[in-house]
Structure 1
């Protein structure tokens, strides 16, 4: 909540427009997600790696 307050005040009281993306609905959805999970892999096919990269890229594009 403090981060949202800071972004709001920076955007609207000090006219720092670079803070506006932090007030978007997509950013709020992103920070509301489950915590980061970590997995160790022994091996991964090139196809599986490509799919993982594509999925990650899609998630990043939804943030903006």
Structure 2
């Protein structure tokens, strides 16, 4: 269960970094396009990749 949570979290972070857009919760705020900075993309990719690696090791250990 924990490995599935890490897998989904990591996939969401990497997908957000690859999409290069900040997800919006309200449609009214979508009028202004916001892009991630290079530092923000790097941080999301790093955190997402780390979560995916943690999910791999958790799945291998059986948790």
By the TM > 0.5 criterion, same fold?
no
| TM-score of the two chains, using structure 1 as the length reference | 0.31
Larger Rg: 1
Give the structure with the larger helix fraction: 2
TM-score w.r.t. length of structure 2:
0.31
